[in-house]
Structure 1
Amino acid sequence: MNYENETTTTYDNTLDYVEYAGFWIRFGAAIIDGVVLVIPLMILSLIFTGSLSMLDSAEEASLTALIVYLAYLVGVLLYFVLLTSGPSQGTLGKMMVGIKVVDRFGEPISKGRSFGRFFSYYLSGLFLNIGYIIAGFTPKKQALHDYIVSTYVVKR
């Protein structure tokens, strides 16, 4: 018996019967994550905009701004890597829309795989975000970064 369905579900030897998360539900999760991540950036910007004007030189202000920006980037990295590889198997956005990230056996992914997945987002974003858009057209709804690190996004 063949349980293949070209849209969102499949049965194979590596994953039991699951429903893969398509482009639009993943897009919704990304919007939520964007909102979650922009709030701390706005707070940091408000705090440090006033602080930068009190510094003695433009060099000190530039260095402080760079340090704040790098700290924010580390925070974003930790947000994606730790939440995706943690017990929730997804970011706050993914949790809110009811999806999670798994490996080919349906198990949670490791921190190393999550780290690779995070940096693969940049490849997915190259060339007009085609790497993200392909999730709407591939049999298991995988984006480019999912193919690179062998992950799947499935409904809970």
Structure 2
Amino acid sequence: MRETEIVRDDAVDAAVQYGGFWLRVGATLIDSLLIVLLTTPLLYSIYGDQYFNPNQIAAGFWDVLISWLLPAVAVIIFWYFKGASPGKMIFRLRIVDAETLAPANMQQLVIRYLGYFVSSIPLGGGLLWVAYDRRKQGWHDKLAKTVVMIER
């Protein structure tokens, strides 16, 4: 990395307040609760008590659609149009391009979402990385070249 790039990064870092680990944990808990409150009654209305069978990964087509695809699409749409999920909005957090601090583009947001799976694999190490990183980036942020900043 060239010296001018390091100076520029330091100047940007001084002007930006990054969303830290505990704020992001709080936002994730709110988002998770919202997803459960929306999807569980819907899935229960389709599958009844058999939906809660602990011996199955998915109850069927509707389970995969409602539990996996719908939340992914909803989160990415929120990120794209609002710059944040509902939980992040409560804490005034925004997902932006790490270099320009402009809104992240759709490709970055899809990579970021898929990056959550990569970040979770090693015992959540890629998510915990937010607590130790200078710019508060998890592995999913690094993969997508995004940062989470606090709006002023």
| TM-score in terms of structure 1 length | 0.79
What corresponds to 1:45 in structure 2?
A: 43
Q: Hey, which bits of structure 1, 4+ residues long, moved more than 2 A?
A: 49-52
Q: Quote the Cα distance in structure 2 between the aligned partners of 1:94 and 1:24.
A: 12
The equivalences for 1:25-104 within 5 A come to 25-50=23-48, 65-72=59-66, 73-86=68-81, 88-103=82-97, 104=99
Q: Which of the pair is proportionally richer in helix?
A: 2
What corresponds to 1:107 in structure 2?
A: 102
1:36-75 deviation digits (Å, cap 9, x = unpaired): 10012211222012498xxxxxxxxx9x942112221221
Post-superposition shift, 1:16? 7.5
Q: Quote the Cα distance in structure 2 between the aligned partners of 1:129 and 1:89.
A: 24
Aligned length: 136
User: Given residue 11 of structure 1, which amino acid in structure 2 is its aligned partner?
Assistant: A
Q: Quote the Cα distance in structure 1 between the aligned partners of 2:64 and 2:107.
A: 21
Query: Cα distance 1:20–1:44, how it changes in 2: closer, same or farther (>3 A)?
Result: same
Q: Quote the Cα distance in structure 2 between the aligned partners of 1:51 and 1:128.
A: 31
User: Given residue 135 of structure 1, which amino acid in structure 2 is its aligned partner?
Assistant: V
> What is the RMSD of the two structures over their aligned residues, measured on CA atoms?
2.4
1:91-125 deviation digits (Å, cap 9, x = unpaired): 00000111010002111111121111100000110
| TM-score in terms of structure 2 length | 0.81
2:143 is paired with a residue whose SS is helix
1:26 is paired with a residue whose SS is helix
Q: Quote the Cα distance in structure 1 between the aligned partners of 2:89 and 2:48.
A: 36
Structure 2's unaligned 5+ residue stretches are 1-9, 51-55
User: Given residue 36 of structure 2, which amino acid in structure 1 is its aligned partner?
Assistant: V
